Structure 1
Amino acid sequence: MSAGSLFAQEDAILWRAENALQWGDFRAAPPAGKKVAATTASGLSYNYSGKGVGGKYKLDFQVDAFFYPDKSWYHPDLVDSVILSHEQLHFDISELYARKFRKILSQRVFSENVREEVKELFAEINRELSLFQDRYDLETDFSRNRGAQLEWNARISRELGKDL
């Protein structure tokens, strides 16, 4: 039997389809410069236990996407509902990658090095997530390209709808 975990912060907000972020959820103090309107800190957390024989392990696991209020901030005079939807999509993208990680864990048979294998998979998912988040910001110009923002909103909504 093997077990491992990476837990979210105590005050983190668990992703739920019915719970949209509000500006009140962004509790960190914004930096003095006003070049960026808002920042969303979100990420993945997991825990698991493994059962197996003969060096082949299947996992019982939980993977969640979280928003971190104490690391997320905004400048009230620079934001609007479009920017809030942009920040929400960062959180939604984290949920998409939580689903991707769940799928990988559910389909994989692990060796006796299950702990190291899960850590490597988690690191790879986080690399992919980071690149995807960067691409989202680049293509939407941080929500300033309203047409691209609407396209991303529709795309992520479709992706989230596939697994619900």
Structure 2
Amino acid sequence: MRAQEEVPWSPQGKLEWKDFKGDVPLGAKAAATTASGISYSFSTFYEKGEMKVDYQVQAFFYPTKSWYRPQICNDITLLHEQLHFDISEVFARKMDREMSETKFTKNIKQEVRVLYKRILKELDVFQRRYDLETDFSRNIEKQKLWQKQINSLLKGESSS
């Protein structure tokens, strides 16, 4: 990956340890942290008197806010961190889908903000559940199950 402030998710762009450029915070107990999230932009225009919405929703990885401890991390840890980024993409797609299905009013700015905040809350709950169920990558069997589930979601085989 490139040395950027934010890196957009792509199916080919797998994380490597060199992408984690942040400093390990003092007192941090985790082996690694993946800073990822969702960003959106939109504009409106009118066509035949009807409001249309042009929008973009994207998942990003933030290299300078992501870090790891080389002495205790391995390929399994990296896979776990990659899945955090992939989960962000699953929820970016969910927001994209909901944006396309929503009939917005003239209060679109507020409506999109409410939708975005709800998606971020759902994303946070999902990420926390992932960490708890996999014991932060230490439960290999659960890690494999989550990998399969997220890959299915990314392939569009089921919904989040």
TM-score norm. by structure 2 comes to 0.90
Distance 1:18 1:85 in 2: 14
Q: Which residue of 2 aligns with 1:57?
A: 51
Q: Which residue of 1 aligns with 2:10?
A: 16
Unaligned runs of 5+ in 1: 1-9
Q: Quick one: which of 114, 131, 138 aligns to 1:144?
A: 138
Distance 1:55 1:113 in 2: 16
Q: Which residue of 1 aligns with 2:118?
A: 124
- Aligned-pair distance for 1:36? 1.1
Distance 1:35 1:56 in 2: 53
Q: Deviations along 1:14-69, whole A, 9 cap, x unmatched?
A: 10001100001100111234631000000001111123489963311110000000
Distance 1:116 1:28, change over 3 A: same
Please state whether the residue corresponding to 2:57 is helix, strand or coil: strand
- Is 1:95 the counterpart of 2:74? The answer is no
8 Å contact 1:23–1:84 — kept in the other structure? yes
The Cα RMSD (Å) is 1.8
Distance 1:57 1:108, change over 3 A: farther
TM-score norm. by structure 1 comes to 0.88
Please state whether the residue corresponding to 2:59 is helix, strand or coil: strand
Aligned identity (percent) is 47
Unaligned runs of 5+ in 2: none
Distance 1:125 1:58 in 2: 22
8 Å contact 1:57–1:114 — kept in the other structure? no
8 Å contact 1:140–1:148 — kept in the other structure? yes
Distance 1:111 1:155 in 2: 35
Worse-superposed segment, 43-52 or 116-125: 43-52
- Aligned-pair distance for 1:109? 1.1
- Aligned-pair distance for 1:114? 0.5
**One-letter amino acid matched to 2:98:** I
**One-letter amino acid matched to 2:87:** I
**One-letter amino acid matched to 2:75:** S
Distance 1:52 1:125 in 2: 27
8 Å contact 1:56–1:109 — kept in the other structure? no
Q: Deviations along 1:62-119, whole A, 9 cap, x unmatched?
A: 1000000011000000100000000000000000000000001111111110100000
Q: Quick one: which of 34, 39, 57 aligns to 1:40?
A: 34
